[in-house]
Structure 1
């Protein structure tokens, strides 16, 4: 038994998770809805990831803040947020273009008995206010990522100021706190490594129950909608993202090879936040510095929604074809702007996809009841949209890291030149 366990540990994560995924498909197809008996295996995996993600975010950001200065963090933030906005706008446009070529929704009818209850989208002021937690323990319990990032940043700065204090006792306390945080961060990663050994079993449970309940027949009536979604994501990930990597001189094939574990996990779990521990681990594997990865990836998992942008673009054309609505150039521009703001602005809100889609539909004058038509295949499209979101997070981190390293090198060259003179 011990030898078998050692053999299992020696296999790569991607091979183990691929086997679990393929076995899940086979079991789901053979046993149908009976395969849902394996669903608890997937629930355990997701719960384990959710268990470790909050301490991982909190501790790694606190350590990252102490390893950087406020000027560096401001510069990183000034680079990553424009990236989020621009790539999300591109994804909405791409979704529109692909959907216009494929024309999903043709031949379908508007459901007459679908009652959609859509939560009101939060205002910008509400979103900003929610970042500042009224109760830090409640934010930790609820997994409110933006609030936790805010908390980690201010705690990190407080510890940094203590470590640099002229008072000896304050300096000692700050150093002690940082060591505790570094130790806690290491413990989190060790727990994560244990969770990853269970991952193939969890993936098998998720895939088998999903395929068993949904079945491949769910694709038949909405095949064009699903096809447009997958094609849009494929182009965005492997063409647009590759161009960005080439521009910033990041080796494309090596980078995708280094992050394939995060991509696969995101696809299976359909959860950016649940995948975050593996995303951070893969960022280190891809050579992205800790100070960039630990700061940008938790924010990206909540804010960066390239896959959602494609979702909105495809969804609008899908709905327009059903009701016979011809999208004008002005309407397309408005949809791109609205879709970008909806993808970023509703991130982290429960039912964000539903709220965001409803905002875009309202802007375009389309009935939100059509969202109900896509419910049957949401589980299949959410998988690929989440994969795109997580890939986009890592691409952004890699680009910013490359830019930061170039900035550091130019600064060193300037200092050396000044010294030599």
Structure 2
């Protein structure tokens, strides 16, 4: 209930912030607008400081958790989830690169995104908050410590990083998420006062429609693969998962939807023990819909801002994104907060580009979550088939991993 309330609150406040930013930007005095630009500058610096800590605090215990509990079947489930997530990102990349030249090609370049200092309003002062270490250092450190914890017999270090995860998530929930609407308001206020808002809105409406269509395509592909493996009708399986899809639309949280996802998965003939193992795990590590949205919106921003798009560099970004999604906090907007680090380090996104990513992602967050949750049922069906082939009557079915 708390997550559902947070989701609705955040979505409404973000939409209200966008509308107010567009409307008030028409007649807002510059001196007052600079107050919000000052806040945006401080908030952006704090976010940059926090990002490496978010990575270490969330990725480390997530990797450590994956190394315990169910052995090789946990690894197989994680591999399937990661493969599905990366596939969704690659498919979105191919679709965007094919369609954006004509879908967005008629638009003038939004140069203010590429060089915001030449166009955006400036704040009254700045406060510099350099991060403790850079993003790549944080990723390598989190991976090394997370894997290392799985070889340590004691659990003190594991519990310590679990507590660090709690601290980081509280900062995200209590500080970052509540202040996001103010940040987004200031950004759209600046875009309106600089005469760039019409291009931004017309561009992202097209991308939002494309994202909805891609959600359907990804789910159909996932269930066609699951249907081939399990020899069941993929569209019947997909139909059985509709209650989970609808619930995720309302909660914008994979974790809050787990009970419904479990019930729908069982209707598809998946053994209760397999469902109880794969669904909670995939709710954390399988984010195909979220990855698809991040790829579509990031490429749209790069296209309209004139940023160079290097194919191999972007493919590397997708593989990194698949790993980073494991660290996404279980709150609405958590996936984009976890992805901010590599958007900046791998793609060179600036403050305005990151703000647009956050605003557009949160605005349709529940649709990505619904895609994630529904896809979990396909992975559960594949795992059920693999375990039955291996163990006959599921004598060695894995138990539910510890949260």
Q: Cα distance, 1:338 vs. partner? A: 1.9
Q: Cα distance, 1:363 vs. partner? A: 0.7
Unaligned runs of 5+ in 2: 1-14, 21-67, 124-128, 150-155, 171-197, 396-403
Residue in structure 2 matched with residue 80 of structure 1 by the alignment: 77
User: Take 2:92 and 2:162, find their aligned partners in 1: how far apart are those partners?
Assistant: 38
Is the CA contact 2:96–2:296 (under 8 Å) kept in the aligned structure 1? Answer: yes
User: Take 2:92 and 2:130, find their aligned partners in 1: how far apart are those partners?
Assistant: 23
User: Take 1:325 and 1:135, find their aligned partners in 2: how far apart are those partners?
Assistant: 37
Residues 1:322 and 1:361: Cα distance change in structure 2 (over 3 Å): farther
Q: Secondary structure at the match of 2:159?
A: coil
Residues 1:245 and 1:361: Cα distance change in structure 2 (over 3 Å): farther
Is the CA contact 2:223–2:378 (under 8 Å) kept in the aligned structure 1? Answer: yes
Residue in structure 2 matched with residue 261 of structure 1 by the alignment: 243
Q: Secondary structure at the match of 2:270?
A: coil
Q: Secondary structure at the match of 2:307?
A: coil
Is the CA contact 2:336–2:358 (under 8 Å) kept in the aligned structure 1? Answer: no
The number of residue pairs the alignment matches comes to 275
Residue in structure 1 matched with residue 388 of structure 2 by the alignment: 405
Residue in structure 2 matched with residue 282 of structure 1 by the alignment: 264
Unaligned runs of 5+ in 1: 1-27, 34-70, 145-216, 413-421
**From 143, 148, 155, the counterpart of 1:124:** 143
**From 149, 159, 178, the counterpart of 1:133:** 159
Is the CA contact 1:102–1:228 (under 8 Å) kept in the aligned structure 2? Answer: no
Residues 1:371 and 1:136: Cα distance change in structure 2 (over 3 Å): closer
**Could you say what the CA RMSD is over the residues aligned between the two structures, in angstroms?**
4.1
Is the CA contact 2:223–2:237 (under 8 Å) kept in the aligned structure 1? Answer: no
**From 232, 246, 250, the counterpart of 2:232:** 250
User: Take 1:137 and 1:341, find their aligned partners in 2: how far apart are those partners?
Assistant: 21
Establish whether residue 356 from structure 1 lines up as the match of residue 339 from structure 2: yes
Q: TM-score, normalised by structure 2?
A: 0.57
Determine which structure has the larger helix proportion and give its number. Answer: 1
Residue in structure 2 matched with residue 207 of structure 1 by the alignment: none
Residue in structure 1 matched with residue 371 of structure 2 by the alignment: 388
Q: Secondary structure at the match of 1:343?
A: helix
User: Take 2:309 and 2:373, find their aligned partners in 1: how far apart are those partners?
Assistant: 30
Is the CA contact 2:241–2:264 (under 8 Å) kept in the aligned structure 1? Answer: yes
Residues 1:371 and 1:78: Cα distance change in structure 2 (over 3 Å): same
Is the CA contact 1:118–1:354 (under 8 Å) kept in the aligned structure 2? Answer: no
Q: Cα distance, 1:372 vs. partner? A: 1.3
Q: TM-score, normalised by structure 1?
A: 0.55
Is the CA contact 2:243–2:264 (under 8 Å) kept in the aligned structure 1? Answer: yes
Establish whether residue 309 from structure 1 lines up as the match of residue 291 from structure 2: yes
Residue in structure 2 matched with residue 234 of structure 1 by the alignment: 216
Residue in structure 2 matched with residue 189 of structure 1 by the alignment: none
- Taking the TM superposition and a 5 Å limit, the aligned residue runs for 1:335-374 are 335-346=317-328, 348=330, 351-374=334-357
Q: Which has the larger radius of gyration?
A: 1
Is the CA contact 1:80–1:400 (under 8 Å) kept in the aligned structure 2? Answer: yes
Q: Cα distance, 1:264 vs. partner? A: 1.0
Q: Secondary structure at the match of 1:292?
A: helix
Residue in structure 2 matched with residue 329 of structure 1 by the alignment: 311
Residues 1:140 and 1:379: Cα distance change in structure 2 (over 3 Å): closer
Residues 1:363 and 1:255: Cα distance change in structure 2 (over 3 Å): same
Is the CA contact 1:102–1:224 (under 8 Å) kept in the aligned structure 2? Answer: no
